Structures are given as structure tokens and as C-alpha cells.
Amino acid sequence: MKALTKAEEEIMNGFWEYAPCTVTQLIDQKYVDPKPPHSSISTITRILEKKGFLKHVAYGRTHVYSPTIDKATYTEQTLQEVKKKYFAGSAMDMLSFFVKKEDLKLEDVIEIMKKIEKS
């Protein structure tokens, strides 16, 4: 899977939330004034389609876009890459890093463990 830039990820978040939709519908639903230029969002949308994250159905000159990958799958794959790249593939090292970095209290860790056991 190809990585997304920050701008691409922002647009994908919109498609994950509002798809299927056109670029115009996405802009109207996701952004408040001042809205980004249609041409900028359209360009990024075409890049996302080239990368395989979006597909479209054409109705005349109108294109309706839908994600080809859901957000949960993208998140999982991205976290797997982070684990591999920065933590030598160790989930324990990755979790330990985030626990220390977020300065979690024991109660927070216990709550996380309860959530893990439920899933």
C-alpha cells in the first residue's frame, strides 16, 4: 500500500465519512468558508484514485467517488508499517512508547486492558 500525504489523508477522511459523493459534495459537506478550491481537491482526488484508494462511477461528466479501502484497514496497515519501521516489529515496544509518551496513569492502562479484553 502506498503512503498518503497529509493532504491526501485529509481528503480520504472526507471520502470515508461522506462517500459515495462527488468532489463538489465533499467540499460542501466537509469544509466551511473559506472552502478550498475545487481544482485542488479534484487534483488530490485523482491522485488518490491513481494510488488505488478511490474509484469512481461516471454519470456523464460527473464522477461519484467511493473508497476502495476502509478506514480501519488503512489505519491497521499504517500502524503495522510504523511498528515495523520504528519499533523493529515489536508491538510491546510500540505500546510501551505510547504509554510513556502519553504519561498514562495506572487507571488509564487498566481501562485500556479492559477494552482489549472486550474485543
What averages of pLDDT result for each successive group of 10 residues across the chain (119 residues)? 91 97 97 95 97 97 97 93 94 85 80 84
Q: What is the pLDDT of residue 16?
A: 98
| Alpha-helical regions (H) of 19-105 | 23-30, 38-50, 71-86, 91-101
What distance in Å separates the CA atoms of residue 76 and residue 71, rounded to the nearest whole number? 9
Q: What is the pLDDT of residue 28?
A: 96
What distance in Å separates the CA atoms of residue 10 and residue 75, rounded to the nearest whole number? 13
Q: Name the grid cell of 74.
A: 488503512
User: What is the domain partition of the chain in residue ranges?
Assistant: 6-67, 71-118
pTM: predicted TM-score of the whole model, two decimal places: 0.81
Angle formed at CA 78 by CA 76 and CA 83, multiple of 5 degrees: 95
**Are 22 and 63 spatial neighbours (Cβ–Cβ below 8 Å)?**
yes
The fold of 6-67 is Arc Repressor Mutant, subunit A (1.10.10)
The position carrying cell 462511477 is 57
